[in-house]
Chain A
């Protein structure tokens, strides 16, 4: 598997650290309650098919990335900077 880092270009999977579902970008507020925090920290859609997850280009530029990927075929369809995704969420 290779990921196309928007800053560094196509790189081997070994350069990247996997953090998990991109739901981690939508951090609840401190007083949102236990259910919101449980959902954010633990509960997952866990799809068989297209998913979006967070990776860090640990052995490269260090950027956090949102990767759109197929969990059945391992095909990667999109890689964007997490800062851009976070910016458009605000």
Chain B
């Protein structure tokens, strides 16, 4: 089933009776060439690119809940490539290019909207840091425009420019940054993978990983044993527990990150705005809700919900920056389980077990990485070689100290990111 304007018109005129399910809800087979553990954004995109780029279609995606039920459905939908450090820079640049062709590639409307992202600054020192970051983005081949105070006012007239504590000095505009419809990204990749023959198996929890003589043989699941010579772990906040089934301890601590959405309002915020000093970021969904978030709650958690101190902090930061949103009513808040690494950058690598691969450590930045992560992880699983844009995401960088990517410059330690 392909989507097109003509198809929508025809279905609209004939009662929308011709739509079929977007993917097959498959039953597990006894053996596959490759198994992906985790049916979230990264797992589904990995399966899609394994099939599309490498012709590997005898693949299963095992999901303990339902497809796209984790962080890919629990984020603030921001897509950007404004990283500073080598390693991150080329990876997110590649991922953004995949985003830009994603809808045509998947024949699926993921509502990718490059509305521009503005990072605000509030001092001369911060201006220097953002100018430097902007240069790094331009050197990578991406786009960045340094805005002065009046430049920001043109785009965001509603900000409190003369705030006594954080007056606005300017902002770094990343015109190609924006948002996308998060659930549609998972559904689009699921459909693309399923159409190419990948089995998407829901309600199938992995309970063990079978390893013989240092080679992975398959997995134990709540729906029986499934064999495979290649297994990829792509389970975000649950990485530590799944890796433990293979006898591994990871440099990961799982934390909760909260996000919030208001009732639907008329269009008022046209961009993605981030206020680093208050750790607050906001955009408006196409449905009208203001979608915003802040920092981690900052304690290890698997609760998928946070506590009130951070909720209060986020609201205060929002009111400091843009008092106009004060009367908007918050509809919902939720939390995602973030797989935090010591340096705040992810891991895409082999493990000490032959055939066992891991893609994790996306911290609070996994959504924009969904295309790039799947592409690079599929490359690694299919060829055994690291994909160039993700080649620095090594698991052993913490032990060796070589190639740490501490984007915030705060240190490579668990409680600092």
Contacts and interface: CB of A to CB of B under 8 A. Distances in A.
B413 interface: yes
A21 B253 contact: yes
A41 B342 contact: yes
Interface residues of A, number: 27
Contacts of A42: 251, 342, 398-399, 414
Interface in A1-32: 1, 12-14, 18-21
Interface string B276-319: 00000000000000000000001111110001010000000000
Contacts of A13: 307, 309
Nearest to A18: B299
Interface residues of B, number: 25
Given A18-B415, A20-B415, A44-B240, A72 B303 contact: yes
A76 B400 CA distance: 36
B307 A44 contact: no
A47 B241 CA distance: 7
Contacts of A86: none
B297 to A, nearest CB: 9
Nearest to A55: B299
Contacts of A74: 301, 303, 307
Given A14-B309, A35-B399, A74-B307, A43 B250 contact: yes
A48 B414 CA distance: 17
B301 A44 contact: no
Contacts of B301: 71, 74
Contacts of B303: 71-74
A34 interface: yes
A45 interface: yes
Contacts of B302: 48, 71-72
Interface string B235-248: 00010110010000
A46 B398 contact: no
Given A13-B309, A41-B413, A46 B399 contact: no
B132 interface: no
B329 interface: no
Nearest to B249: A43
A27 to B, nearest CB: 14
A83 interface: no
Contacts of B46: none
B399 A44 contact: no
Given A44-B240, A46-B250, A51-B300, A38 B309 contact: no
B76 interface: no
A75 B241 CA distance: 20
Interface string B333-347: 000000000100000
B163 to A, nearest CB: 23
Contacts of B238: 48
B301 to A, nearest CB: 5
Given A13-B307, A20-B414, A38-B398, A44 B298 contact: no
A73 B238 CA distance: 16
Contacts of A77: none
B152 interface: no
B398 A71 contact: no
Given A44-B240, A47-B240, A74-B307, 17 more contacts: A13-B309, A14-B309, A19-B415, A20-B414, A20-B415, A41-B398, A42-B251, A42-B342, A42-B398, A42-B414, A44-B249, A45-B240, A48-B238, A48-B254, A48-B302, A51-B300, A74-B303
- 3 cross-chain pairs, A with B, having the tightest CB-CB distances, nearest first: A46-B240, A42-B251, A38-B399
